[in-house]
Amino acid sequence: MGRAGSALKQVLETYKISQNRLATALQVERSVVNRWFHGQVDPNGETIVAIVQALRTLNATAAERFIQLYLGDLMRPTNATVQLRPSQPADLDFVLAAEQHPDNSPYVWQWSREQHLAALTHPDIAHLIIEVPTRQTPVGYVILIGLQNPNQSIQLCRIVIEVKNQGYGKATLKQVKQLAFQTYNAHRLWLDVKVGNDRAQAVYHDAGFIIEGTFRDYVKTPQGYDSYRIMSLLRPEYQP
């Protein structure tokens, strides 16, 4: 049974929510929910978002518990404090290693050292290292593009967390939103997330990002084509 199906089964049983009620809230056949419940198929990223929204209409506590069970350590309560600082040329060994790590590379655009180096001084780009006061080495990096965009639309081009399951990703997203809307005066903060990277999509959704659409077969790979979801957060939706 997949992670999402297992979380859903536990929540429905714990909070006494019938499969029929959830199916009605989702406007799907009961057999669809039944397949998730019994682990025959796992819901995908967009469906997980719809499940959360449906659960919130039935039992808000159940919805939050589903998020916690599905995201696991990514939603663990944390006092993690992160700091963002401008990347320096000396940081690029760390950046490239994090980008190319097998846990990250399937979901992260790959840049050359020269591309990263050029980004460090580009006026339209913020290339930032994520640090934690209690650690001597960085825990990740962030790239924002569009600081000078006339439409005040900034892209969260990259967020890579090398030290995982410590709450650093969630803390970094909070900092990124503050930076985009309060420092760079963005009206829109957007990102793309690879279809199939369901946990990341759920994290972004929990941070307030809304799915706008899909770039279908957007990137050619040796295995075929990858599609990407476009998600965004607008200034009126931003909550510090």
pLDDT digits (tens, 9 = 90+) for 176-222: 999 999 999 999 999 999 998 888 888 899 899 999 999 999 888 88
Q: Clarify whether residues 116 and 216 are in a common domain.
A: yes
pTM of the model: 0.67
Q: How many domains does the chain have?
A: 2
The answer as to whether 78 is a domain residue is no
Task: From 21, 50, 73, give the residue that closes a domain.
Answer: 73
Q: What is the pLDDT of residue 75?
A: 46
| Distance (Å) of CA 131 to CA 79, 134, 173 | 14, 9, 13
pLDDT digits (tens, 9 = 90+) for 227-240: 999 999 999 999 88
Q: Clarify whether residues 53 and 103 are in a common domain.
A: no
Q: Clarify whether residues 115 and 223 are in a common domain.
A: yes
| Torsion over CA: 74, 212, 208, 128 (sign) | positive
Q: Clarify whether residues 231 and 144 are in a common domain.
A: yes
Where residue 65 sits, what CATH number does that domain have?
A: 1.10.260
Name the residue range of residue 22's domain. Answer: 3-73
Task: From 20, 49, 73, give the residue that closes a domain.
Answer: 73
pLDDT of 78 > 70? The answer is no
Q: What is the pLDDT of residue 12?
A: 93
What is the rounded average pLDDT for all residues in the chain? 89
Q: Clarify whether residues 66 and 113 are in a common domain.
A: no
The three-state secondary structure class of 147 is: coil
Q: What is the pLDDT of residue 79?
A: 57
The Cα–Cα gap between 234 and 187 comes to: 6
The Cα–Cα gap between 133 and 139 comes to: 11
The Cα–Cα gap between 134 and 132 comes to: 5
Q: Clarify whether residues 112 and 210 are in a common domain.
A: yes
